[in-house]
Amino acid sequence: MSWHAAPAEAWQALGANRLRTALTMLGMIIGVGAVVLMLSVGEGARSTVNQAINAMGSELLLVVPGASSASGLRFSAGTASTLTLSDAQAMTQLASLSAVAPVFPNSAQLVYGSNNWNTTVYGATPDYLTVRSWNLESGQPFTAGDVRRGARVALIGQQVASNLFGSQDPLGQTLRVKNLPFLVVGVLERKGQSLDGRDQDDAIIVPITTAQTKLFGNTFPGTVRFITAQARSSAHMADAEADITQLLRARHRLSEGEDNDFTIRNLTAIAETAALSARALAVMLGAIASVSLLVGGIGIMNIMLVSVTERTREIGIRMAIGARRRDILLQFLLEALLLCGLGGLAGAAVGVGGAWLVSELAEMTVVVTGRSIALSFLFAAGIGVFFGFYPARKAALLKPVEALRHE
């Protein structure tokens, strides 16, 4: 048998029993479709986490005050007032840090014309944009001079701009924050959701001194809610944590053995853990879906064994007129590969359609990649070779005389 004629022979053999061929292919269609769908869901989860990580900023450290206590009750970290603007200023001198920004957040009602919106107001310094890797879509950031004089200027997020100004350009407009007028000097780029699901675009940033003295007041003058810091590189993260700890313990006059009155959180490490979990989820979903491919492969082997039994006399006749063992082996291998190949193509289409359906109905981020389709298809082809080889070899090893005698 020539290589040229072998595929046509395999196609003709499969067409002889179309219902059985279709049912056998169904296992591969379901298997490949499930793998494509699960890999797409896993890739979507990874994409969502990666977007949140990129939006958060790189090499990011968060310094929060220590825990407070009252009437014998202890509260969580961040409830005390132990961090100050001068602490943040001192941290800017650390060689392991590239940027430091104290933050004083609170919620407030914003008003522009007949529109109003409640959002989070972040009192911060200009370096906050650097630490958070947050660019402006339009306008310009406020300056250190604005912080010194407590200027009433604001940078607004996309969600705030949409709800207050609609299609109108917010730049140069005046909105009211707790009945105080603020000039919009910049519009922030879209950030999306954070790792905890919070909408980062639903925010407004003002000079920290303005927030402390004119908007919200401060029971302990000079204190801040937390301090964000950016290490010079990922290699400096451990040094940055150690330097911050040493500096703040010295500034807060903590004796040896006394607990820190602050907590340092490595947000980059938390983000990497989330990314690792997303990757593990993608692998797990792919592995679970691959089981259905194995089941389909077992079905193919079973059908091929039945086919060998049914066609034993045919095999004997072929061998009697000159077919070699490798010709018989090739024919049955090609039949298995055709079953898997056609099932793989149909399964890939089913998987892509299922992924689109999931994204539309469940409103999930689903990412279909050529890699996931190619991987599923190659896996299906491998299944065909693996599970088709034994029946093909069994057919090739038949003795012509015994095959011709088979009833």
pLDDT in tens, 8-28: 666 666 666 777 778 777 878
For residues 37 and 240, is the Cβ–Cβ distance under 8 A?
no
Amino acid at 343: G
Which pair of structure tokens corresponds to residue 355? 């992924």
Q: Please say if the pLDDT value at position 69 is more than 70.
A: no
Q: How confident is the model at residue 71 (pLDDT cuts 50, 70, 90)?
A: very low
Q: Which of 338, 320, 318 is nearest to 328 (CA)?
A: 318
Q: Residue 161 — φ and ψ, nearest 5°? A: -60, -40
Q: Residue 189 — φ and ψ, nearest 5°? A: -70, 155
- Looking at every residue in the chain, the average pLDDT score rounds to 80
> Which pLDDT belongs to residue 43?
78
Q: How confident is the model at residue 401 (pLDDT cuts 50, 70, 90)?
A: low
**Beta-bridge partner residues of 124:** 103, 207
Q: Is the dihedral of CA 22, 334, 304, 378 positive or negative?
A: negative
- 295-299, 348-352, 383-387 — most confident range: 348-352
> Which pLDDT belongs to residue 301?
79
> Which pLDDT belongs to residue 347?
84
Which pair of structure tokens corresponds to residue 388? 């088709």
The SS3 of residue 323 is: coil
> Which pLDDT belongs to residue 239?
92
Q: Please say if the pLDDT value at position 49 is more than 90.
A: no
Q: Please say if the pLDDT value at position 320 is more than 60.
A: yes
**For the chain, percent of residues with pLDDT exceeding 70:** 82
> Which pLDDT belongs to residue 51?
67
Greater confidence (387 vs 347) lies with 347
Dist CA 146 CA 186 (whole Å): 14
Q: Please say if the pLDDT value at position 68 is more than 50.
A: no
> Which pLDDT belongs to residue 75?
43
**Range 213-232 burial, b when 16+ CB lie within 10 A, else e:** ebbbebeeeebbbbbbbbbb
> Which pLDDT belongs to residue 110?
95
- Name the least confident of 231-235, 322-326, 355-359: 322-326
> Which pLDDT belongs to residue 74?
45
CA angle 342, 346, 350 (to 5 degrees): 160
**For residues 294-318, average pLDDT:** 74
90-145 per-position pLDDT tens digit: 999 999 999 999 999 999 999 999 999 999 999 999 999 999 888 999 999 999 99
**For residues 70-87, average pLDDT:** 61
> Which pLDDT belongs to residue 70?
41
Whether this prediction's pTM lies above 0.85 is answered by: no
> Which pLDDT belongs to residue 195?
62
Dist CA 78 CA 93 (whole Å): 24
Map tokens 């792919």 to a residue.
Answer: 286
- 13-22, 193-202, 234-243 — most confident range: 234-243
Residues in the chain: 407
> Which pLDDT belongs to residue 7?
62
Greater confidence (260 vs 186) lies with 186
> Which pLDDT belongs to residue 106?
92
Dist CA 100 CA 91 (whole Å): 7
> Which pLDDT belongs to residue 119?
94
> Which pLDDT belongs to residue 304?
76
